[in-house]
């Protein structure tokens, strides 16, 4: 009997950004450890997180769960995939109008913050760019007052969105670190060798309105190679580096290691301990 499938496509502004094939009458089983070789099904990949999975018949669900699999029905597969796609592309979806609404919400209870910031110190376009940078790395932006107050402080010394982003990240560091701290109050993390940090920092050109990494492709490939020798591409690991190289190291790894969280030393609260998993050298 032929297996029936149905494909769905997720589009953003008229362009396809994701698609997945659902196997009708089946559920998706994702192993949490070693797969059970006796479990029969059609191999596939979980669309939300790229994990190996198999489509199984409903009569195999109890057995799969007993073997440690997470079993998800087709409706939940679509919902989880859509949510993950939105998170992944939130920075592209955040428009100028969204930036204005963000400021308007803060102005309702803290009008002075907006009055002193926009447009006296920064245009709305720069605020949009900073929030887009934060969303791109899945930094929580719920603390609108904290973000905009930090921008007001930093804007006196720079109008560069990259440098402003790094300043704001340090101001909301507890919200960032909360996502990677374990139950013991530690961050298991890899540390970057200072020579790599210096190589990145020396390849950055800072302008009035932007900062650009000018490192040669061979240098970028070398850094990626050093990282992948110690960290699996799909691993949700944390790397800690200098504040001057953090943004650009994240740029280097973004496409090939999207699950990698890159923090700077300046983003670590004093009461949070780092447990070293090794040095990237």
The model's pLDDT over 118-144, given as tens digits with 9 standing for 90+, comes to: 999 999 999 999 999 999 999 999 999
**Residue 3 has what pLDDT?**
65
**Residue 239 has what pLDDT?**
98
Q: Could you give the domains of the chain?
A: 5-88 (3.40.30.60), 91-176 (1.10.8.540), 183-280 (3.40.50.12790)
DSSP one-letter string for 131-149? HHHHHHTT-----HHHHHH
**Residue 35 has what pLDDT?**
86
pLDDT digits (tens, 9 = 90+) for 102-115: 999 999 999 999 99
Q: Are 71 and 64 in contact (CB under 8 A)?
A: yes
Q: What angle do CA 54, 60, 66 make, to 5 degrees?
A: 90
- Residue 31 CA to residue 28 CA, distance in Å, equals 10
Q: Are 118 and 126 in contact (CB under 8 A)?
A: no
- Residue 191 CA to residue 175 CA, distance in Å, equals 21
Torsion of CA 259, 171, 268, 226, to 10 degrees: 40
- Residue 60 CA to residue 256 CA, distance in Å, equals 35
Asked if residue 119 has a cis previous peptide bond (ω within 30° of 0), the answer is yes
Q: 13: phi > 0 → left, psi -120 to 50 → alpha, else beta; which? A: left
**Sites in the chain below the pLDDT cut of 50:** 1
**Residue 145 has what pLDDT?**
98
């Amino acid at each position: 009997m032929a297996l029936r499938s149905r494909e769905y496509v997720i589009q953003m502004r008229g362009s396809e950004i994701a698609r997945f094939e659902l196997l009708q009458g089946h559920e998706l089983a994702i192993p949490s450890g070693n797969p059970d070789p006796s479990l029969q099904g059609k191999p596939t990949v979980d669309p939300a997180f790229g994990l190996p999975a198999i489509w199984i018949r409903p009569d195999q669900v109890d057995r799969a769960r007993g073997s440690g699999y997470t079993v998800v029905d087709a409706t939940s597969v679509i919902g989880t995939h859509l949510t993950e796609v939105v998170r992944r592309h939130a920075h592209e979806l955040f428009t100028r109008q969204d930036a204005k609404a963000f400021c308007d919400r803060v102005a309702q209870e803290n009008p002075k913050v907006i009055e002193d910031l926009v447009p006296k110190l920064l245009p709305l376009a720069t605020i949009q760019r900073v929030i887009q940078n934060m969303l791109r790395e899945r930094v929580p932006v719920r603390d609108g007052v904290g973000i905009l107050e930090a921008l007001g402080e930093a804007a006196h010394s720079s109008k560069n969105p990259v440098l402003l982003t790094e300043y704001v990240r340090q101001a909301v560091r507890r919200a960032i670190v909360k996502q990677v701290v374990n139950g013991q109050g530690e961050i298991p993390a890899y540390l970057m060798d200072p020579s790599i940090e210096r190589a990145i920092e020396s390849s950055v050109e800072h302008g009035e309105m932007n900062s650009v990494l000018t490192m040669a492709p061979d240098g970028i490939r070398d850094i990626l190679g050093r990282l992948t020798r110690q960290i699996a591409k799909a691993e949700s690991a944390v790397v800690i580096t200098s504040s001057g190289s953090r943004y650009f190291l994240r740029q280097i790894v973004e496409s090939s290691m999207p699950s990698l969280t890159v923090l700077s030393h300046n983003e670590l609260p004093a009461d949070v301990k780092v447990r070293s998993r090794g040095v990237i050298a």
